[in-house]
Amino acid sequence: MPNLDFYAAGDDWSAVLETVFDLALFRVFESDSEPDRELREFHALTEVPDGRQGRSLALFAVGSGPGPMAKRMDFLPGVHPDATFRYCCEGWGLIQLHHGAAVGTRELRWSHTNHNTEKRAAAWSATVPRLGDPAAWNWAAVTSASGRLNRAIRRMSVSKIGSHPVLPSAADFIAHAGLRYEYGVGIHATPAYGMSR
């Protein structure tokens, strides 16, 4: 299964990233570069920055395909006052790893892993020809690496909310903030409109 939504907070993210590097299955890239900067590859946990740039990563399972591509995205004049471009990391078989964020103490959003399937990539290949032929990817290798990461994350969990694993620091955050209502893309302190308390 390519997708895993899970709860991570505080030190959990460092533990997830440590697992990514310990598995030694991936090359790790930022999903989007900083404005006016090249796309970075990270070789160790200590290289992954805190903040936004370290929360959204693209994982390339080594030997799974032609590798990631850096797509330059030029900003329209006036959109970004201090920059003219950024890069995003693309590739049919890349695995996305995203750290969901806490919204104050009222909400904790899911962190997640996900990747294309061979069928989805083939369906979109005519729309996004710059990514090349999806058949050039070893989809079994992509799925295997993704599955190993997802299983490792599940083993780190201390509980589950619905089908979503909850990592240790997230469990503490959820308990202390009194988050009880799961809807949308996370767990909240208050119910959604129409949801009973």
Q: What is the pLDDT of residues 144-169, one digit of tens each?
A: 999 999 999 999 999 999 999 999 99
As a whole number, mean pLDDT of residues 67-72 equals: 93
d(CA 45, CA 42): 8
Residues in the chain: 197
Lowest mean pLDDT among 1-5, 117-121, 160-164, 176-180: 1-5
Give the domain extent around 175.
4-188
50 domain residue, yes or no: yes
Residue 62 pLDDT level (bands cut at 50, 70, 90)? very high
Q: Is residue 140 part of a domain?
A: yes
pLDDT at 52: 74
Indicate whether 194 belongs to any domain: no
Mean residue pLDDT of the chain comes to: 93
Count structural domains, the chain.
1
Report residue 192's pLDDT band, with 50, 70 and 90 as the boundaries: confident
Identify the CA nearest to 92 among candidates 63, 62, 130, 55: 130
| Maximum mean pLDDT: which of 98-112, 142-156, 174-188 | 142-156
Residue 1 has pLDDT above 70, yes or no: no
Tell me whether residue 45 is in a domain: yes
Q: Mean pLDDT across the stretch 103-119?
A: 93
Q: Is residue 43 part of a domain?
A: yes
In a domain, 60, yes or no: yes
CA atoms within 13 A on the CB side of 88: 9
Q: Are 26 and 97 in contact (CB under 8 A)?
A: no
Q: Is pLDDT at 20 greater than 90 in this prediction?
A: yes
Is 193 contained in some domain? no
| Contact present, 177 and 189 (Cβ < 8 Å) | yes
| pLDDT for residue 94 is more than 70 | yes
Answer yes or no: is 195 within a domain: no
Q: Does pLDDT of 104 surpass 90?
A: no
